[in-house]
């Protein structure tokens, strides 16, 4: 294998550029050419493919987002679209494809491989951290640090005005961001899709805090649970406490990737190149138990990652 393609797809995640950088430089070190595919699977169908040199990825390891750009492609979900993508790879002389992204990216790679036999490697990058086959996805650590930084700032105003704030965070249908940031940020309550919650119990916890002299409260809500404004309104009606809602939104995705995400992305990107050169046909890279490993793409998609229930219970204990 002498020519490798790399793309980023789906939602951007801090650390994607570090992964691209590692793939390009590791590939060139191993004697390969590395070509970048712009705008994910959409750019692959359109043939928007450019050669990447050592200098192409200079001064990128600290940058958020993705220099290759990203998009979601409805056309790639069709057989005709995937046939055109295969033709684009053939015209460019690319012999193996590395896709950096989350569940949608992995599903696209797996379907593409099944239909064409083309060698594909998935590198997990999603702030939601909801992809199987890895303990941590690229971007998750940066996202939770962004959330904790926001909670710290919100807490200043919450204390000054003696208010309750309901902070909604991303995560799709999972609560990994909410639990990690809520525990680190000292939230009084953390509402996750994985565990049913009783709004009356949340309100009682708030009132207990008021009775012991607590002047403010922070409640972290995963977006898969419901609307922060609706929950804030319900709390206000039940308790009479001045309650504000904040939806952090896409601020969670941006900014300079943390040291952890830069290192994780660099190691995973390099391993993806090694797997292609070793003859792997459809693998997913992952960090499991502190070691970089790989598994079949289908296994990564089939595995349901579970929330740490012990950490959830600990957060409740520490918020008493």
56 annotated ligand binder: no
User: The tokens 């525990």 sit on which residue?
Assistant: 183
171 annotated ligand binder: yes
Q: In angstroms, rounded to a whole number, what is the distance separating the alpha carbons of residues 125 and 11?
A: 9
Quickly count: other Cβ atoms within 10 Å of residue 241's Cβ: 18
Report the CATH fold assignment for 3-139+257-302: Rossmann fold (3.40.50)
At 12-70, the pLDDT tens digits run 999 999 999 999 999 999 999 999 999 999 999 999 999 999 999 999 999 999 999 99
188 annotated ligand binder: yes
Please report, in angstroms and rounded to a whole number, the separation of the first and last CA atoms in the chain.
Answer: 58
Q: Cβ distance 38 to 130 under 8 Å?
A: no
Residue 320 pLDDT exceeds 80: no
At 301-316, the pLDDT tens digits run 999 899 999 999 999 9
Q: Cβ distance 40 to 10 under 8 Å?
A: yes
Q: Global pTM?
A: 0.96
Average pLDDT over residues 100-114: 97
10 annotated ligand binder: no
63 annotated ligand binder: no
The pLDDT, as a whole number, for residue 82 is 97
Catalytic residues: 128
> 160 is written with which tokens?
């000054």
- 3-139+257-302 and 141-253: identical CATH topology: yes
Q: Cβ distance 276 to 92 under 8 Å?
A: no
The pLDDT, as a whole number, for residue 215 is 85
At 240-253, the pLDDT tens digits run 999 999 999 999 99
Q: In angstroms, rounded to a whole number, what is the distance separating the alpha carbons of residues 269 and 267?
A: 6
The pLDDT, as a whole number, for residue 195 is 95
262 annotated ligand binder: no
Q: Cβ distance 178 to 127 under 8 Å?
A: no
Contacts of residue 211, Cβ cutoff 8 Å, sequence gap at least 6? none
Average confidence score pLDDT of the chain: 96
At 139-187, the pLDDT tens digits run 999 999 999 999 999 999 999 999 999 999 999 999 999 999 999 999 9
Query: Domain extents for the chain?
Result: 3-139+257-302, 141-253
Quickly count: other Cβ atoms within 10 Å of residue 171's Cβ: 28
CATH architecture of the domain with range 141-253: 3-Layer(aba) Sandwich (3.40)
Q: In what order do the strands lie in the sheet with 291-296?
A: 49-52, 33-37, 3-8, 96-101, 120-124, 282-288, 291-296
Q: Cβ distance 111 to 139 under 8 Å?
A: no
């Amino acid at each position: 294998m002498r020519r490798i393609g790399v793309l980023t797809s789906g939602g951007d995640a801090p650390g994607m550029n570090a992964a691209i950088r590692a793939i390009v430089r590791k590939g060139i070190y191993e004697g390969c050419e590395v070509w970048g595919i712009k705008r994910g699977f959409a750019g692959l169908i359109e043939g928007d493919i450019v050669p990447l040199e050592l200098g192409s990825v200079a001064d990128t390891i600290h940058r958020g987002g993705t220099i290759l750009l990203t998009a979601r492609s409805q056309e790639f979900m069709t057989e005709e679209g995937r046939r055109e993508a295969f033709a684009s790879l053939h015209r460019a002389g690319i012999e193996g494809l590395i896709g950096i992204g989350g569940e949608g990216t992995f599903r696209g790679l797996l379907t593409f491989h099944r239909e064409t036999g083309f060698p594909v490697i998935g590198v997990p990058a999603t702030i939601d951290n909801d992809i199987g086959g890895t303990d941590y996805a690229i971007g998750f650590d940066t996202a939770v640090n962004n959330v904790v930084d926001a909670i710290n700032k919100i807490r200043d105003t919450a204390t000054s005005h003696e208010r309750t704030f309901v902070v909604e965070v991303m995560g799709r249908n999972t609560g990994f961001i909410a639990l990690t940031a809520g525990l680190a940020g000292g939230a009084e309550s953390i509402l996750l899709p994985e565990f049913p919650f009783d709004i009356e119990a949340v309100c009682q916890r708030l009132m207990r805090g008021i009775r012991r002299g607590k002047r403010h409260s922070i409640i972290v809500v995963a977006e898969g649970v419901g609307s922060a404004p609706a929950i804030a309104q319900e709390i206000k009606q039940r308790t009479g406490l001045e309650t504000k809602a904040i939806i952090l939104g896409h601020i969670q995705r941006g900014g300079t990737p943390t040291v952890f995400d830069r290192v994780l992305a660099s190691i995973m990107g390099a391993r993806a190149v090694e797997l292609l050169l070793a003859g792997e046909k459809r693998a997913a890279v992952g960090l499991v138990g502190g070691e970089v490993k790989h598994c079949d793409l289908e296994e990564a998609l089939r595995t349901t990652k579970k929330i740490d229930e012990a950490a959830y219970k600990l957060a409740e204990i520490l918020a008493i």
